Amino acid sequence: MRRILIFFTISLLVLGSVFGICFALSYSKYRKQDISSVSINPDSPNQVYKYKKITYFAPVVAIKSYIDNITFNDLQNRQIAILKEDEPVLKTLLYDYNVKFDLFSNFDELSRYLNSNIDQVGILNFSNLHFRLKTIRFENIDILDRNSNILDYKLKYIQELESSSPKTDESNITQAKITTIGHTGSMIPARLVEYYIRNKFNGDFKRLFLTTKPLFDSMDFVSSTFEAPVLGKGRPCIKCMQFVGADDFMNAIEYSGIDFFSLASNHIMDGGVEALSNTQRKLSEINIKYTGASVINNDDAAKPVLVEINGLKIAYLAFNDTPGREQWAGKNYPGSANISDWEIDENGNTIKYEPNIERIKYFMQKAKDLNPDLIIVIMHWGGVEYTPQPTDYTRLLANLLIKNGADIIFGDHPHWVQEIEYIEGRPVFYSVGNFVFDQDWSIETMQGMTIEVTLYGNKLINYKLHPHQLDLRQNGTIRLLKPNEHEYKQTLNRVYNVSNLE
């Protein structure tokens, strides 16, 4: 009996040890599996990580097209212009809509086709967007609006991919890199602008900007031309050609949503050095930067100003090239910045008027020395006013500025909207027309436009034209026109009819 008891005890001990060892091994294996499931194990060759690659596409149309939105239903049984490289993905993405494709080998071919067929629509990979085609909304979502909910945007192709190492989802768009900048026309704080606001609207200059302020506020940065100075109570007049506004106009400028001014104009010296100096001081007091005129000399007047917008460094230059030597700065006297040589005889007749190439190169190099991502030039030019197209001399200046580094040129002074031209792949907006002005004696002088340019990084990928119309006598404002209004197309067609945008 004793032997049996000893044997039974020993057996239990052996079985317990075996069980303990098995449990320990099993628990150890479990722990290893558990740890590897929640942490990265670089030594595990079989680990698989899933991630998404999202490719966004955008609908595009001709610059002159009035199509501004398209839906999946609109694509049904429609011919769509696309690049050959996008065909496999778009066939899959649009399979349910029986879309037919017109295929093009490169962007230039597709752009020429759409700009020649303004009722047609194209679709481009977001990475291929370019300002020569207008990007429009899809299902009422603007992919170029940095604040839009990109997750709700439907024109995208999602691939589920695997990797042997951890990866975040990939996308061909980073919304934070989208920047919008605007430019609008000339403004004067004087003559009938001042008269009507003071006498009909209780001096409320802010009402001038009631309909345009939301547009300006929606952009990252907006520039304009401050054509005439302010000084004290101004010099009220009705039929004068010397413009000097009052200081209280600056309250409206602070409210307007405009961030930057060119002072290069043929009226900036109407109040002399005192008024120019006062205007510069008043702008600085409300934290608005400027260039284009100086109380010192031309070098100071033409000094480029570097601004940082959404991480982009943009150099602004501004020049006045309208006849009127009394307004021009020189080596030792104040005035507006200029880049031409002008000589007259004793009778006041012009005997020489030509670009100063060295001066252009010098000032453009000053801008380049700031290492900007982009150089924008604001030009007050065109000796001939009230025409839809620029003069040959204006075109010559545009070519010289582009060849020496300008990326975008915004022009004004002709008082009408004018042609848009691409020079060496860069846009020149010859005239945006009037903005805050009092020339209400013709529809052409009442209508102007604000240019909205969209950048992705430092690449110009889109621009929009926003027309507006003077409504000074009746409502004391500049009315932003709506697409369904006759005047909207009336304004833009005057630009489109004289512009070759293919």
Q: Residue 86's domain spans which residues?
A: 52-171
Residues whose CB is less than 8 angstroms from the CB of residue 94 and which lie 6 or more positions away in sequence, other chains included: 72, 75, 80
Say whether 256 sits in a helix, a strand or coil: helix
Predicted TM-score (pTM) of the model is: 0.89
Q: How many domains does the chain contain in total?
A: 2
Same domain, 375 and 242: yes
Spatial distance between the Cα atoms of 495 and 296, rounded to a whole number of angstroms: 38
Exposure string for 92-127, b = 16+ CB within 10 A, e = fewer: ebbeeeebebeebeebeebbebbbebeebbbbbbbe
In a domain, 35, yes or no: no
Residue of 160, 166, 174 whose CA lies nearest to 53? 160
Q: Where are the alpha helices (DSSP H) in 302-420?
A: 357-368, 392-403
In a domain? residue 195:
yes
Dihedrals phi, psi of 461, to nearest 5 degrees = -115, -10
What pLDDT score was predicted for residue 45?
61
Of 171, 206, 228, which one is at a domain's C-terminal end? 171
Smallest CA-to-CA distance from 305 within 283, 321, 325 is with 283
Is position 5 within any domain? no
Same domain, 278 and 341: yes
Judgement on whether residues 165 and 180 belong to the same structural domain of the protein: no
Q: Assign residue 63 the CATH number of its domain.
A: 3.40.190.10
Do 372 and 427 lie in a common domain? yes
183 and 243 share a domain?
Answer: yes
Query: What per-residue confidence (pLDDT) applies to 4?
Result: 44
Neighbours of 383 (CB within 10 A): 16
Report the alpha-carbon distance of residue 487 to residue 448 in Å, rounded: 11
What pLDDT does residue 132 have?
98
pLDDT at 44: 57
Q: Rounded to whole angstroms, how far apart are CA atoms 422 and 241?
A: 34
Q: Determine the Cα angle at 233 with ends 274 and 325, to 5°.
A: 40
> How would you write the pLDDT of the chain (502 residues) with one tens digit per residue?
444 444 444 454 444 554 444 444 444 443 333 333 334 455 556 788 999 999 999 999 999 999 999 999 999 888 999 999 999 999 999 999 999 999 999 999 999 999 999 999 999 999 999 999 999 999 999 999 999 999 999 999 999 999 989 989 999 999 999 999 999 999 999 999 999 999 999 999 999 999 999 999 999 999 999 999 999 999 999 888 999 999 999 999 999 999 999 999 999 999 999 999 999 999 999 999 999 999 999 999 999 999 999 999 999 999 999 977 679 999 999 999 999 998 888 887 878 889 999 999 999 999 999 999 999 999 999 888 999 999 999 999 999 999 999 999 999 999 999 999 999 999 999 999 999 999 999 999 999 999 999 999 999 999 999 999 999 999 999 999 999 999 999 999 999 999 999 8
My answer on whether 197 and 155 are in the same domain is no
Q: Which residues pair with 469 in a beta bridge?
A: 447, 479
Pair (461, 319) in one structural domain: yes
Shared domain for 158 and 196, answered yes or no, is: no
Q: Both tokens of residue 326?
A: 């009394």
- List CB contacts of 394: < 8 A, sequence separation 6 or more: 321, 379, 381, 382, 411, 430
User: 3-class DSSP state for residue 337?
Assistant: coil
In terms of domains, do 295 and 154 share one?
no
132 shares its domain with 221: no
Q: Are residues 248 and 363 in the same domain?
A: yes
Q: How many CB atoms lie within 10 A of CB 420?
A: 20
Amino acid found at 42: P
- Distance between CA atoms of residues 428 and 469, nearest Å: 22
Q: What are phi and psi of 357, to 5 degrees?
A: -60, -45
In a domain, 17, yes or no: no
Last residue of a domain, one of 127, 153, 171: 171
23 falls within a domain: no
Residue 22 in any domain: the answer is no
Q: Is residue 255 part of a domain?
A: yes
Q: What pairing do the DSSP bridges indicate for beta strands 434-436 and 447-456?
A: unpaired
Residue 4, domain member (yes or no): no
